[in-house]
Amino acid sequence: MAARLDGQFELVCGTFSRDPAKSRAGGAASGIDAARSYGSHTSMLAAESKRADGMQAIVIVTPNDSHFAIAKAALEAGCHVLIDKPVTRTHAEALALREVVLRTRRVFGITYTYSGYSIVREARAICLSGRIGAIRKVVVEYTQGWLSGRAETQGSVQAAWRVDPQRAGSGGCIGDIGVHALHLLEFVSGLRVARLRADLSTVLPGRQLDDDCTVIVRLENGAPGLIHASQIATGERNELRLRVFGEAGGLAWSQDAPDRLELRWIDRPTEILYAGRDGKGLGPATRAAARLPVGHPEGFIEALANLYLEFAHEVRRGSDGADRQDDNRLLPGIDEGIRGMRFIEAAVESSRQADRWTQL
């Protein structure tokens, strides 16, 4: 849906399941020719590379354990890659993938969805402009309640692989939603997390991975921060909240009202900015990233679509590795993927060593 929103992509083929019959059924549901619905990414890449009208880009939305193999094969087959987070199952795989991205010089993007909201980009622009002054503290909370019960044994395919270290990686909640929080924190503040102290818990006995995380961080400018992520926060849906406190003002955003940003000043009343093509007080890039006038809220699909659109622009420009060095690039790339993987492994390491401070 997000890929199609701006008319930049046509879905021409796919591996919709590892079972060839299910893949054909999945493809048919999306209007794909049965001959182009494959049972594996290897057969898809081999067949498509022989066609004059073969696929040019791939979207990888499988569980984490297959990300590396599919991304590497696709890049080496000449495809541009847009992949879901976390970029791979391990940090070592992410480092190896970076080498493939640089060698093949294909466009590579990661769907850290929340950085696609236009008002989140305004928050970033405000932090980078210095309007709220030096950043003193950042807090990101990402809480869900869907793993409060034993969803993994009650038929939820999504839960089953997420609690399995062989498929998800060494992080449970920290790898699934903690990485989104880290990316949002660094994307908006423009500051990197230098070190962290993590307390990861497995609240439901018997699970092999964490389902609740409290991570105290120290940013590169010395400011303290907090990432709180939980999937056993009973009753929570998908609550994502960001607060940035600067010496002159603070920012507050919540996905509950995704088109609204509060600017809380130290010496004057709070301002509220709303996303929109004509949004008052917004920078040109923020207005351009919105599709409708203010009062018509943008949502998750539009945020994701902004990432697809930037990916499409880069493919059309024929850009390569040079873009990844560009500080103005908003589409997350392999370096953000590597940071996410390092964050997961550093948090696991810190928590195992009784919350010890660990460098990122």
Write out the residues near ligand NAD by the rule CB under 6 A: 15, 17-18, 41, 61-64, 66, 84-85, 111, 113, 157-158, 161, 176
For ligand NAD, give the closer residue by CB, 179 or 223: 179
Nearest distance in Å: CB 157, ligand NAD: 5
Smallest gap from residue 84 Cβ to ligand NAD (A): 4
CB of 72 to ligand NAD, least distance (A): 13
Least CB distance from residue 264 to ligand NAD, whole Å? Answer: 28
- Nearest-CB residue for ligand NAD: 84
Beta-strand pair 57-60/80-83 = parallel
- Nearest distance in Å: CB 160, ligand NAD: 8
Tell me whether residue 41 or residue 72 sits nearer to ligand NAD (CB atom).
Answer: 41
The residue (of 61 and 96) whose beta carbon lies closer to ligand NAD is 61
- SS3 sequence of the chain: CCCCCCCCCCCCCECCCCCHHHHHHHHHHCCCCHHHECCCHHHHHHHHHCCCCCCCEEEECCCHHHHHHHHHHHHHCCCEEEECCCCCCCHHHHHHHHHHHHHHCCCEEECCHHHHCHHHHHHHHHHHHCCCCCEEEEEEEEECCCCCCCHHHCCCHHHHHHCCHHHHCCCCHHHHHHHHHHHHHHHHHCCCEEEEEEEEECCCCCCCCCCEEEEEEEECCCCEEEEEEECCCCCCCCEEEEEEEECCEEEEEECCCCCEEEEEECCCCCEEEECCCCCCCCCHHHHHHCCCCCCCCCCHHHHHHHHHHHHHHHHHHCCCHHHHCCCCCCCCCHHHHHHHHHHHHHHHHHHHCCCCCEEC
- Looking at the Cβ atoms of 44 and 232, the one nearer to ligand NAD is 44
Nearer to ligand NAD, 64 or 118 (CB): 64
SS (H, E, C) 274-307: ECCCCCCCCCHHHHHHCCCCCCCCCCHHHHHHHH
Q: Which is nearer to ligand NAD, 258 or 276 (CB)?
A: 258
Q: State the nearest-atom distance from the C-beta of 141 to ligand NAD, in Å.
A: 16
Pick the closer one to ligand NAD by CB: 193 or 303: 303
Question: What φ, ψ does residue 28 adopt, rounded to 5°?
Answer: -60, -40
**Residue 273 Cβ vs ligand NAD, minimum distance, rounded to whole Å:** 24
Residue 17 C-beta: closest distance to ligand NAD, Å: 4
CA–CA separation, 159 and 230 (whole Å)? 14
Nearer to ligand NAD, 118 or 126 (CB): 118
Min CB(151)–ligand NAD separation in Å: 12
CB closer to ligand NAD out of 176 and 345: 176
Gap between the Cα atoms of 104 and 321, Å rounded: 9
